[in-house]
Amino acid sequence: MGQDIGQTPTQLSHLHALESESIEILREVAASFDRPVMMYSIGKDSSVLLHLARKAFFPSRIPFPLLHVNTTWKFREMIAFRDRMAQEYEFDLITHTNPDGLRDNINPFDHGSSRYTDIMKTAALRQALDAGKYDAAIGGARRDEEKSRAKERIFSHRNAQHAWDPKNQRPELWRLFNTRLNPGESMRVFPLSNWTELDIWTYIYSEGIPIVPLYFARHRPVVERQGTLIMVDDERMPLAPGEAPREEMVRFRTLGCYPLTGAIRSDAATLAEIIMEMQASRTSERQGRLIDSDQAGSMEKKKQEGYF
Amino acid sequence: MLKATQETALDVSADTDIALWLEQQTGKSLLRFLTCGSVDDGKSTLIGRLLYDSQLILDDQLASLKNESRNRHVGEEGIDFSLLVDGLTAEREQGITIDVAYRFFSTDKRKFIVADTPGHEQYTRNMATGASNADLALLLVDARKGLLTQTRRHSFILSLIGVKHIVLVVNKIDLVDYSQEVFERIEAEYRAFAAELGFKSLAAVPVSALRGDNIVQRSERMPWYGGEPLLPYLETVEVGEDRAQRPLRFPVQWVNRPNLDFRGFSGTVASGVVKVGDEVLVAASRKPAVVTRIVTMDGDFERAVAGQAVTLVLDREIDISRGDVLTHSGATPEYSNQFQARLIWMNDEPAYPGRSYLLKIGSQTVPATITGLKHRTNVNTLEKSAARTLELNEVGTVTVATDKPVAFDPYKDNGLTGGFILIDRISNRTLGAGTIDYGLRRAQNLTYQSFDVNREVRAQMKAQTPRIVWFTGLSGSGKSTIANFIEKRLTAEGKHAYILDGDNVRHGLNKDLGFTDTDRIENIRRVAEVARLMADSGLIVLVSFISPFRNERRMAREIAGDIDFLEVYVDTPLEVCEARDPKGLYAKARAGQIKNFTGIDSAFEAPERADIVLHGAEHDPVDLADELYVRLIG
């Protein structure tokens, strides 16, 4: 991407401009905070974020650790991919699972998606951030994903309880980010704020960024629940009497916990096919995530409580 | 997987269609614009309409929209478009937009990033925020209401922030029967108002966002309108300003030092072009060096232009750290500790001349003070008037002094090196945004004279350690009583001390000051300076001032510099002080005869980390003085 543009002075293209903006944000974090951390969710946005972080600090290694909050219900392919990336790119990988949730065997089937997410993701994240005393947590959220995200700052302030106050955000002018914190407070930082889903895919395409194979269509064992295709990734998935997984050609537009992530029927087995399919598609990407449709304004509520 | 992806990419490059399409995608230009105007002018509806008409509303969004649009004001499609952009629950409930929301859409020709900014007066700061990164503004006007105070205010802010291209969108034209006369009257009135605001282009379009008139297609209901519909105009309007043509500014963001063999300076080229072999100068130290490499993960570059994030390697070891600006000789930025600027205040508590704030410009952050408020601009009439403070959403022309010099350009020459923010030193909130007019060079000609007899010599003569003991506490808390005991005891022991008392100083040095917040701040600043001079002459200075604000006590400590500074909080409850009322002031304040009395109708911000806390209600002042004396003399 970041090409040497030769002798003619020129305006940067849209993707070049986004890349530079994100790199500038990542460097600002490294220069301004004592203990930054980067959230690593293993999805395509995380893959782009990881790529940008490598670029931002090259030839240095990424000067902060990557944190993966493991709910224990992630797709197996995600975990394998994560470990391979950590080895290949030599970043510090920290993983955390909520020990209380683990002890009580909190899972999406018996406890409902809302309670499960609250304990295994939101509370787990707070635990991990507190334990690491991180003062800045970098996330891959984009403003085009969801309405409440469209209003969040790039440097988004959190109080000592990790809560977001949407009515009291710091004005963010030019590229002048106010990175100052009082003791106990922290910052969430979103370098991909101005990227769209299409930008992410075209960037992955032009940079050859590795992503988890689950994004590509393949025959996978699925069951259909409330109109959503759920992949049976391991034997923990309870099946109703008479319910049997069937092989379908599916892929995922977004990755998370397999019992909560809907697959779509698709034949798109290459990046180019994914991008073509996306251009023709008429549904927004978070639709495949069950947690957002639990209640109106649910993402905003989760964010106020500390969810990413 | 890495391998698989690369193979995939190879397969696809054989497919010319997608390769061409992707090339077009990556090569598109970008237009960042904002929408602004008064409340209820229909901004959110307009953006929703743009998204809908450019077919960017997805099936699931459309279904949920139709569902939510019941019982609301809808157009022919049965959809309330504002629901698409009004993201926060509170807004949906109140039917208003309260913050900046960013939207993204693209056509075959361009990508757009839209900042939807609020019309409510108290959120003007958010509009300035949206404007700071925009190339163009859509300024909405309700055809029935014409130009309002907010229209003028927002236009002024657009001009202040330097948005050069304006589209006046006369909305709800359907509600005035598509009247040509109404549209032309509003357009003429606006052109007259905007004449002195320095916009480069101004277009006016009559639309109905609700009904879709003149958004994508020319409306048949307004045959009299000869211009382009809104979206086609946005796709082609030329806003480009080639930052690469300006002088080089490379603010160093991060020093890149992976090992002893590599030392690079990472940053984004703010303007200009830098090439391998160029001699660059550090703006502050004027030290030169030659660029030997421009490093990126994609390989070394021969040159980097404005907007590119790179790492520069230089041919020699010179002192460079975050905050430094690299530049070419002959086209260096200003470097000064004083400048004049225009300031938009964004905080509930007003801006006080004299208070110390943090100023961030580029990658430099320094303490700074507003040294003068030249005037305030009435944003409705653009008239200037005198002012002592700057309130929320007001715009003023100020002089600013920074604790150490910073590199900058006038904002009109370079938006990225001429804009700054002010940050509160205690809450860390962003308080205001400024654009620099020009540097003031006075301070550079003022240097410190050094003398042979210094503080150390004078202190030795007196056989004591000079220091400042700063008493803070409510009126009647016992500050002066304790200070008096201490001074007597110090004098008896042969030490040299002096009390600066609030009341006494106000009879002389500070008799021109009243009790407003602004005057209280100046009161403390002067006394802190006097205390520093006295301590520098070798004295032990006892300052007995209510000094109610944390910010100014911090300032006093900073003015003291390397002089030993002890903050003593005489913590006596208000009831006790009021019962004592040695000067009868509380009674007068309660009776309304004194305004702005600390503890009654003016705040006392108790110290959070005083060096010493004395509990004035629990102990005898003599005992407290003894306790303090031990701490002082040890």
User: Is B419 an interface residue toward A (CB < 8 Å)?
Assistant: yes
- Pair (B339, B200) in one structural domain: no
User: Does some domain include residue A2?
Assistant: no
Residues of B that are catalytic:
547
Q: B82: domain CATH number?
A: 3.40.50.300
Q: Is B600 within the bounds of a domain?
A: yes
Instruction: Please give the structure tokens belonging to residue B552.
Output: 């100014």
How many other CB atoms are found less than 10 A from the CB of residue A99?
10
Same domain, A229 and A269: yes
Q: What average pLDDT does this structure show over B481-504? A: 90
Domain boundary pick from B188, B205, B236: B236
Any A CB within 8 A of B6 CB? yes
Taking the Cβ of residue B4 and every Cβ of chain A, the question of whether any pair is shorter than 8 Å is answered with: yes
Per DSSP bridges, beta strands B430-439 and B279-282 are unpaired
The DSSP annotation for B389-458 comes to: SB-TT-EEEEEEEEEEEEEE--TTT-HHHHEEEEE-TTT--EEEEEEEEEE--GGGG------SS-HHHH
Question: pLDDT exceeding 90 applies to what percent of chain A?
Answer: 56
The domain of B581 spans: 455-633
Whether the predicted pLDDT of A15 surpasses 60:
yes
Q: Is residue A282 part of a domain?
A: yes
Distance CA A135, CA B92 (A): 32
Per-residue model confidence (pLDDT) at position A114: 86
Residues A162 and A52 in one domain: yes
* Chain B: residue whose CA lies nearest to A276: B18
CB proximity list for B344: less than 8 A, separation 6 or greater: B124, B125, B128, B157, B160, B393, B394, B395, B432, B433, B434
Q: Do residue B88 and residue A151 have CB atoms under 8 angstroms apart?
A: yes
| A233 within some domain | yes
Residue B449 placed within a domain: no
- Share of residues in chain B with pLDDT > 90 (%): 46
CB nearest A167 (choices: B9, B98, B101) = B98
Give the residue-averaged pLDDT of B37-43. 73
Contact B614, B628 (CB under 8 A): yes
Q: Are residues B472 and B375 in the same domain?
A: no
Say how far apart CA A181 and CA B69 lie, in whole Å: 41
Residue among B26, B119, B403, B408 at smallest CA distance from B251 = B408
B111 and B179 inside one domain: yes
Nearest to A150 among B101, B240, B360 (CB): B101
pLDDT at A58 over 90: yes
Helix (H, G, I), strand (E, B) or coil at B323: coil
A150 and A242 share a domain? no
Do the domain assignments include residue A6? no
Same domain, B187 and B81: yes
Could you give the CA distance from residue B611 to residue B468 in angstroms, rounded to a whole number?
12
- Look up the domain containing A33 and give its range: 14-200+297-304
Tokens of B539: 């004295």
For residue A1, is it within any domain? no
Nearest CA in chain B to A61: B258
Position with higher pLDDT, B149 vs A303: B149
In the prediction, which pLDDT does B100 show? 75
CA distance A89 to chain B (A): 12
Are A171 and B26 in contact (CB < 8 Å)? no
Distance from the Cα of A270 to chain B's closest Cα (Å) equals 6
Number of H helices, E strands in chain A: 9, 10
Distance CA B66, CA B75 (A): 11
Using CA coordinates, name the residue in chain A closest to B101: A151
CB-based contact (8 Å) between B220 and chain A?
no
Domain contains B575: yes
SS3 B536: helix
pLDDT digits (tens, 9 = 90+) for B550-565: 888 988 998 888 899 9
Instruction: Tell me which of B455 and B530 has the higher pLDDT.
Output: B530
- Residue A48 above 60 pLDDT? yes
Are the CB atoms for B564 and B539 separated by under 8 Å? no
In terms of domains, do B215 and B269 share one?
Answer: no
A86, part of any domain: yes
| Same domain for A99 and A24 | yes
B504, B616: one domain: yes
Q: Which helix (H) or strand (E) holds A54?
A: helix A44-57
User: Using an 8 Å Cβ cutoff, are B269 and B308 in contact?
Assistant: yes
Which residue in A2, A178, A282 is closest to B360 by CB distance?
A178
- Judged by CB atoms closer than 8 Å, whether chains meet at A283 and B419 is answered as no
Same domain, A44 and A178: yes
Residues A78 and A219 in one domain: no
- Whole-angstrom Cα distance, residue B27 to residue A47? 23
Check whether residue A48 and residue A179 sit in a common domain: yes
Kindly report the nearest CA distance between residue B153 and chain A, in angstroms. 18
Q: Hey, are the CB atoms on A174 and B245 less than 8 Å from each other?
A: no
Q: How confident is the model at residue B148 (pLDDT cuts 50, 70, 90)?
A: confident
Average the pLDDT over A260-281 and give the result: 86
Binding residues of B for GTP: 37-44, 116-120, 171-174
Q: Are residues B465 and B571 in the same domain?
A: yes
Pick A13's closest partner by Cβ from B26, B254, B300: B26
Do the domain assignments include residue A36?
yes
Is residue B377 within a helix (H) or strand (E), and if so which, with residue range?
A: strand B364-377
Residues A274 and A159 in one domain: no
Minimal-distance CA residue of chain B relative to A159: B427
Q: Are residues B122 and B270 in the same domain?
A: no
Same domain, A261 and A172: no
Contact B87 A13 (CB under 8 A): no
List CB contacts (< 8 A) between A272 and chain B: 8, 11-12, 15, 18, 22
Instruction: Please give the mean pLDDT across all residues of chain B.
Output: 85
- Nearest-neighbour CA in chain A from B443: distance (Å): 26
The answer to whether residues B525 and B579 belong to one domain is yes
One domain for residues A34 and A141: yes
Whether residues A237 and A177 fall in one domain:
no
pLDDT for the residue B14: 40
Chain A contact for B305 (CB, 8 A cutoff):
yes
Q: Answer whether residue A302 shows pLDDT above 50.
A: yes
Which of B380, B382, B336 minimizes the C-alpha distance to B359? B336
Asked which of B236, B252, B272 is the last residue of a domain, the reply is: B236
Q: How many domains, in total, are found in chain A?
A: 2
Reported confidence tier of residue A111, pLDDT bands at 50, 70, 90: confident
Question: Do B471 and B430 fall within a single domain?
Answer: no
Q: Does B10 touch chain A (CB under 8 A)?
A: no
Ranked by mean pLDDT, the top range of A8-12, B34-38, B251-255 is: B251-255
* Residue ranges in B176-224 assigned as alpha helix (H): 180-194
pLDDT tens figures, B79-99? 677 666 655 445 555 544 456
Instruction: Please indicate whether, in this complex, the C-beta atoms of A169 and B99 are within 8 angstroms of each other.
Output: yes
CB contact under 8 A, A2 and B60: no
**Where a domain ends, among B327, B361, B383?**
B327
The strand pair at A246-251 and A218-225 is best described as antiparallel
Residues B342 and B320 in one domain: no
pLDDT in tens, B302-343: 999 999 999 999 999 999 999 999 999 889 999 999 999 999
Give the pLDDT score at A147.
Answer: 67
Structural domain includes residue B9: no
Question: Do residues B261 and B155 both lie within one domain?
Answer: no
* φ and ψ at residue B570, rounded to 5 degrees: -90, 100
Domain assignment present for A161: yes
pLDDT digits (tens, 9 = 90+) for B193-245: 999 888 999 999 999 988 889 998 899 999 999 999 999 999 988 876 678 88
Q: Which domain CATH number covers B253?
A: 2.40.30.10
Q: Which residues contact B284 (CB under 8 A, 6 or more apart)?
A: B324, B325, B335, B405, B407
CATH number of the domain within which A140 lies: 3.40.50.620
The tens digit of pLDDT for each residue in A140-164 reads 999 888 766 777 889 999 988 888 8
**For position A7, what pLDDT does the model report?**
40
Assigned domain for B501 exists: yes
What total number of domains does chain B contain? 4
pLDDT digits (tens, 9 = 90+) for B421-475: 999 988 899 999 999 999 986 544 555 566 777 888 888 888 888 999 999 999 9
What gap in Å lies between CA B609 and CA B622, rounded to an integer? 24
Q: Is the peptide bond before A59 cis (omega within 30 degrees of 0)?
A: yes
Does residue B2 fall inside a structural domain? no
So what's the pLDDT on residue B6?
34
DSSP helix/strand/coil, B161: helix
* Shared-domain flag, residues A183 and A224: no
